[in-house]
Amino acid sequence: MALYLAKQILRNDLWLVKVRDSNMKELLLQMIEWHEKAVNGTEYDTWHAGRFLCEWASEETLAELQNSFGHFDSIDSWKALIGTITLFKRLSHDISLKMNFKYPYDLENNVFHWINQNNLTI
């Protein structure tokens, strides 16, 4: 989804960017919930649909979320995409280590390499 979103930002298709960013944020929320449960135990209450996120998510995650939302313009959307990817990577890497999952580093590196190669000049 990150690669698709990057392409839409580069095309300046901002309405679609915001719609797809919302879909991406749903995946990010799922990763935040899984991370909190991996760190705090499976019974840790993460509510639902992001409710009370500021009460149950780590301070580090909350701080990084500040960089994950952008305005209706290409440059801000690009910054938000990079912020979202950075947070998602940290959470997913940590979960894979804690849960002993195999992580698709090659796929992630290929996607992030393409995004960096096509970086919107900020």
Global confidence as pTM: 0.93
Closest C-alpha to 85, from 74, 93, 97: 93
Write phi, then psi, for 26 (nearest 5 degrees): -65, -40
Rounded to an integer, the average pLDDT of 51-57 is: 98
Write phi, then psi, for 85 (nearest 5 degrees): -60, -45
Return d(Cα 55, Cα 13) in angstroms, integer.
35
Closest C-alpha to 20, from 94, 80, 96: 80
Domain ranges of the chain: 2-117
Tokens of 1: 């989804």
Architecture of domain 2-117: Up-down Bundle (1.20)
Model confidence at 121, pLDDT cuts 50, 70, 90, reads low
The answer, yes or no, to whether residue 13 has pLDDT greater than 90, is: yes
119 or 19: which leads in pLDDT = 19
Tokens of 3: 């690669």
Return d(Cα 8, Cα 49) in angstroms, integer.
26
Model confidence at 119, pLDDT cuts 50, 70, 90, reads confident
